[in-house]
Amino acid sequence: MDKLNTQNWNCNRDENNFIWLTLDKAGSKINSLNVEILEELLYLLQNIQTTASVAGLVIQSAKHNNFIAGADIEQFNHLETPDAALNIIQQGQSVFKVLADLPYPTVALIQGHCLGGGFELALACRYRVAIEDPKTQFGLPEVKLGIHPGWGGTVRLPRLIGGLKALELIISGRALTAPSAYKMGIVDAVVPLRQAHRAVNHFLLNRPKVRVATWVDRITNLPVIRPILGAWLERKIAMKVNRAHYPAPFAAVLNWIENDIRAEEAFAYEANSISQLMMTDTSRNLVRVFYLQEKLKNYGKIDAATFNHVHVVGAGTMGGDIAAWCALKGIRTTLQDQNVQIMAAAFARALDLFKKHLKEPHQVKAAMDRLMPDPNGYGIRNADLIIEAIVEKIDAKKALFAVLAREAKKEAIFATNTSTIPLEQLSADPKVLARLIGLHFFNPVAKMPLVEVITSDIHDSEVTQKGMAFIRTIEKLPLPVKSAPGFLVNRILMPYLLESIWLIESGIPPTAIDKAAEAFGMPMGPIELIDTIGLDVCLYGAESLRASLGGTIPQTVKTLVEAGHLGKKTNQGFYTYKNGKVIKQTIDKHYRLPEDVTDRLILSMVNSAMACLGEKIIPDRDCLDAGMIFGTGFPPFRGGLMNFVAESGEPLLLQKLNLLAQRYGERFTANSGWNVVNGS
Ligand code: NAI
């Protein structure tokens, strides 16, 4: 067999009798593994097994920048029973076993993403050769989908590099660059592209000894050591996530503790464990989150516009960090502020950001070169996009847009980062309004993936498209939101934050309130969140929402602001802070939280969410869920706020809401959005 092609694989034999299997998934820009591709691979391997004089095998990809990105999530998403899941897992395991058992050397030649099932396939080869390329990355990100590796990853990786290092990769889901993977003992060589064939020939012809874990790493796999290290790993995971909410990393550790990874049974254990995990609500919801993220990405078509130069006005908390992020992502950025000291502080923060994200000093220097101080605003004339992030004062912003209208080039678009001011009020000039959108970033800019792209009838849809394209260019997630008070995220979050203060006013300890929210899955309790945002900022946001939507604000927050207790930044808010660390009161062990506390918190959000849907502030429920997950950290394992509503049952939640309205008054009255959403 010199040539034996299938729909997705090309198979060639070279002059050394080496077989080259090249994966080129039909109809797709990237390679991902599905049942057909695995069946074809098995068919090819079985043919190769019976072919005389084969001396070695290479697996590579025909796709640019992508070896294999993992398993095809779409196919796994539709599995209904643990048995169906087990079948597909066992299929992959048995194909990879045929590959691993071939009697001659095998090489995975890897350029681009080598993730999940793709990484497991590479682990089943005797050698791995990585091409020098920043896109070449190794990782097992399965925990992000609520599962752990299932095609031998939890067995072969601990065998190769020791259990502790392997588990650290599996439970974090983080990706490694090629040099880091080499250092860790995962790949056998990292070479420039031009030397790829030479390197492959070296391994296949000379058959050097395979890399093995160091003795220290091997010790971590010993039966007496595993339970001790395993318990330590479990404690480490439990500090970050709740086992009931995210069982997968705990299951991966348990597999390792309970199994001798040298034994074949370890594969069966892995298969059983993952097929159970695939049936959990957590996994289904995390897959949903993956699709939500894809949906937001698709809003921004990068080729809709080019951004060579961005000018940011306002170098404070937001503007400084937005400018630094743009420069980090490769855009020439000028930063303007009337206060030179604030500019200096922004540049110091930018340097920290670049050092954290960029490995090489020359890359840090290049990023610093891209970010230019521009106190006089010379950059306005050349910028493709001008982002306004000055103080939240309407007159100051209006005056600035008048200047921008005079000085900016005609094609440039304007953006405002305002949290509260409707776009229409930022200029009286329709020509300015036609090119103005809101780009509402969240604080801290570097950590929050979401940007609300605020749209209104006053500008062309082309300007919105460009805004979305810009957000994708800087690798954030654009969410289209109609211009309305609080937009989406703050409109939903604010009633929840205020409810937590009403709870304090009814005598419930802040620590207990935060605990209830955290038990629901929120990354941080609402009281600590208010302290972190700043009580003054929250009060300002609450007052501006009240001005348009009505409602009352609890007195406590006003009293604390008047007293200068603004939260973490002043070391005193609802909690006290020492060296930046929160000090929380302990709760008496006999204290019993009223049973409706979680409902009060969560239904405050649900009620506002219904209003947003009713007012069509966002296109649909999926967008709302995406906004809450990526903009507030709403627990991903719940699949979003509206997914929580669907899972809990709308009639039941409405009933609870009505009960809360009877107990606590008007703020819990179901708004008209409930009727609209339910089509009545
Ligand atoms: P900030 O007070 O930290 O920074 C504002 C900066 O603008 C100051 O450095 C000030 O010197 C400068 N400035 C004021 N007028 C100027 C002018 N005419 N020309 C040049 N510079 C001028 O404010 P922050 O927090 O960065 O907020 C900026 C905008 O972002 C506001 O519209 C705010 O509503 C919005 N926002 C704030 C968030 C936050 O968490 N702080 C989150 C999302 C949006």
Q: Which atom of ligand 1 is nearest to the CA of 534?
A: 40
The type of residue at 378 is Y
Using alpha carbons, select from 533, 515, 617 the residue that is nearest to residue 573: 533
Main-chain dihedrals φ then ψ at residue 298, nearest 5 degrees:
-70, -15
Interval between CA 313 and ligand 1 midpoint (Å):
9
User: Does 594 sit behind a cis peptide bond, omega within 30 degrees of 0 on the bond before it?
Assistant: no
pLDDT (tens digit per residue) in 348-401: 999 999 999 998 899 999 999 999 999 999 999 999 999 999 999 999 999 999
Looking at the chain, the whole-number percentage of residues with pLDDT higher than 90 is: 91
State the Cα–Cα distance between residues 454 and 478, nearest whole angstrom: 10
Main-chain dihedrals φ then ψ at residue 654, nearest 5 degrees:
-65, -40
Tell me the domain boundaries of the chain.
Answer: 9-279, 301-485, 490-616+649-677
Classify each residue of 137-149 as buried b or exposed e, where b means 16 or more C-beta atoms within 10 Å of its C-beta: bbbbbbbbbbbbb
173: left (phi over 0), alpha (psi -120 to 50) or beta: left
Q: Which fold has domain 301-485?
A: Rossmann fold (3.40.50)
Interval between CA 536 and ligand 1 midpoint (Å):
14
Ligand 1 interacting residues, C-beta cut-off 6 A: 313-319, 336-339, 342, 389-392, 396, 400, 417-419, 441, 443, 537
Q: How many helices (H) and strands (E) does the chain have?
A: 29, 20
Q: Residue 457: what pLDDT?
A: 83
Instruction: Name the E strands within 99-225.
Output: 106-110, 113-115, 127-131, 137-139, 175-177, 189-191
Residues acting as catalytic residues: 419, 440, 452, 490
Q: Which atom of ligand 1 is nearest to the CA of 416?
A: 32
Listed in sequence order, the DSSP H helices in 506-578 are 510-520, 526-533, 535-549, 555-562
Q: How does strand 18-23 pair with strand 371-373? A: unpaired
Q: Residue 679: what pLDDT?
A: 58
- The CA–CA distances, whole Å, from 669 to 52, 129, 446, 597 equal 78, 63, 37, 17
Name the residue of 313, 321, 391, 398 to mutate for ligand 1: max ligand atoms within 8 A of Cβ: 391
What letter does residue 209 receive in the DSSP assignment?
P
Q: Residue 78: what pLDDT?
A: 81
Interval between CA 60 and ligand 1 midpoint (Å):
50
Interval between CA 392 and ligand 1 midpoint (Å):
6
Following DSSP, what letter does each residue of 471-493 receive, concatenated? Answer: HHHTT-EEEEEES-TTTTHHHHH
Q: Residue 302: what pLDDT?
A: 75
Q: Considering only the top CATH level, what class is 490-616+649-677?
A: mainly alpha
Q: Residue 529: what pLDDT?
A: 96
State the Cα–Cα distance between residues 560 and 641, nearest whole angstrom: 31
Q: Which fold has domain 9-279?
A: 2-enoyl-CoA Hydratase; Chain A, domain 1 (3.90.226)
* Cα–chain center distance at 501: 30
Q: Which atom of ligand 1 is nearest to the CA of 339?
A: 11
Sheet with 66-68, strands from edge to edge, namely 66-68, 113-115, 137-139, 175-177
- Where the chain has pLDDT below 70, the residues are 1-3, 677-680
Give nearest CA residue, ligand 1 atom 9: 316
Following DSSP, what letter does each residue of 384-439 receive, concatenated? Answer: SEEEE---S-HHHHHHHHHHHHHHS-TT-EEEE--SSS-GGGG-S-HHHHHTEEEE
Tokens in use for 385?
């996009």
Q: Residue 3: what pLDDT?
A: 60
Q: Residue 678: what pLDDT?
A: 64
Main-chain dihedrals φ then ψ at residue 255, nearest 5 degrees:
-55, -45
